[in-house]
Structure 1
């Protein structure tokens, strides 16, 4: 667990002004010059009140962060993570609430908040490159889950450009393909979230210019508008019935004042027939927003009611892990990274997949 105290002088700090943190496990053997950098998730804060709440926990302050164990894509067991187990493995902690895009010079005085997520990302990446030796990488994979999975898409080409042309660089987004969709009341609630995040954190200048040259900045927080403009190979892992998106994109609280969706949002098995029809339409819209097939694009879209499936061993690669076309997630990602096969798997509709583990993890 590395507290990057020298980053504070550069203004690269968490919401409360505390130093950034990453967790590091060095590579060995054949993986000594290979790197997987995984960004933690945890939603966004879109106003000073929401961000101030985060100052009191690990979502906004490194003072509350504790050591953690690595599993899933960061796991160190050859049996359960055969393609990446002996790589240099890094987990970047998330304490800015902007998917690492914020950079506002002025401190928010009323609640003493620092909107500096992009500086945090750059400070940690620079430390990995110059101090830890990531500049010598032969293989590098930028990954993340949820808000970190979105960050893996937003920073993908920028990450790629930090390496020599001889380094194989790819990106992997788990539960980060947030849909620009209408909620049950017909509003674009998710769009309003991102507009507020971008405005509060000063994110526009750090979003991919390949997208912002064509779209308004808040739309460039949605992967469906960014991914077609990307130059770097990408793997998209997502549940078609992503539990966070059903709660917050499809049926957010403002769109459901009578809480008629409360039980359905807890578990897809509780949905009424009409609610299930709405959820199936959400899946249809989600699939339509996915990028067109290409040789460098990998996909694993299962029919689970889950959110984040790469960080926990039981969903990544284990006996009983989710399968699509008889393949587990960990194998599908490895096959894509090493180009053993074109890896594009889209599951049949719910409730067709008995291997699903319906869970939420970061």
Structure 2
């Protein structure tokens, strides 16, 4: 992990903005094998959506939302992969004011071009099933996983995630997505949560003849007890839903049964999704371990500090607690996994987000369950080549993992 990433993480945590979507490529403790040949990286320019302003579909600071599009070709010319960016949330005025001066709250701070790797790569050796599709990264700048509908004029804050979702989809439809014969909505972390929340909305955009599915990577945030017996993440999600008005935009099949905060948790939405979906997740999600299960407030004496920064330092008692978290995750997807149309790849790695990192998506030493890696599992599921319900054995059985290690913030 380089100095600037550590500094950014420290600043974000100091001011209370929850940063998800750890950069696995920068944080991995393993030294991975390089690909057989070094190919030219693919950088894709940022495109802003001018029409968004008149619709009030703006980032937290009022700037225009945007996306990166790399056109498909050949057999993939009419196939579309939409990737919703992750990047945490803000749950109160203070953290949202901080966020609006970052790339996750303002397009003024977004990179003008980003590299497409993993599932976004245009090279068949790196991304065999989706390399020639139209691939789009929709930038995330609202702080509520593309669900908010509110504002705070006094602080100059706009919570317009739902409108951003709508104008982004309309923009892409006008760019040719309306002709799609195949489409896949994906997302990592906060974007993975959004891909679950918007899955059926995405399906509704297309003709019934279009093959439409959804993929969530590291988006299965659980309503779990922390190490002190509290519900850190529930409290945080409640702030998001209340401040940003997300409840009105969450799936009605869920909000008709329970409150908006409960429906922000994917586990309470999964069973209602009608569109085929795939859950890619670690059973020991590194972000949830650090910020939901063992946050500093729940661990004032620092008992969990070494464990959450490096799983090799966990005690037997701590591993037992984490096995309980794994059990909750498997229970949360039990109903979802029953229909043949849905897929699972839940490995036993201490990781967070695996589809955009080339090492974890498709490489010689990528994580595997049985004899199948992540890219092959997702491709088999999407193209109906095989039913995929892959659940890893409990830690420490998997020696293919790319685990994450983090420096202490003390």
Alignment partner of 2:82 out of 32, 37, 45: 37
For the pair 1:234 / 2:273, whether they are aligned, the reply is: no
Tell me if 1:71 matches 2:117.
Answer: yes
Q: Shift of the alpha carbon at 1:296? A: 0.8
| Structure 1 counterpart of 2:163 | 119
Which deviates further from its counterpart, 300-309 or 219-228? 219-228
- CA-atom RMSD, angstroms? 1.2
Counterpart-to-counterpart distance in 1, 2:141 and 2:303 = 33
Match of 1:319 in 2: 364
Q: Does residue 1:54 correspond to 2:111, yes or no?
A: no
- Give the 3-state SS of the residue equivalent to 1:16 in structure 2: coil
Cα separation, 2, equivalents of 1:317 and 1:228: 29
Q: CA deviation at 1:166?
A: 0.6
Structure 1 unpaired stretches of 5+: none
Structure 2: runs of 5+ lacking an equivalent:
1-45, 406-410
TM-score normalised over the length of structure 1: 0.97
Alignment of 1:1-362 (within 5 A): 1-66=46-111, 67-104=113-150, 107-130=151-174, 132-292=175-335, 293-359=338-404
Give the drift of 1:111.
Answer: 2.2
Question: How many aligned positions are there?
Answer: 358
Displacement, 1:176? 0.2
Deviation string, structure 1 residues 64-100 (Cα, Å, up to 9, x no partner) = 1111010111111111111100000000111111000
Matched residues in 2 for 1:325 and 1:41: separation? 29
Distance 1:304 1:267 in 2: 12
Structure 1 residue 263 displacement after superposition: 1.2
How far is the alpha carbon of 1:287 from its aligned partner? 1.2
**3-state DSSP of counterpart to 1:68:** strand
TM-score with structure 2 length normalisation? 0.86
**Does the aligned pair in 2 maintain the 1:240–1:304 contact within 8 Å?**
yes
* Counterpart Cα distance in 2 of 1:248 and 1:188: 11
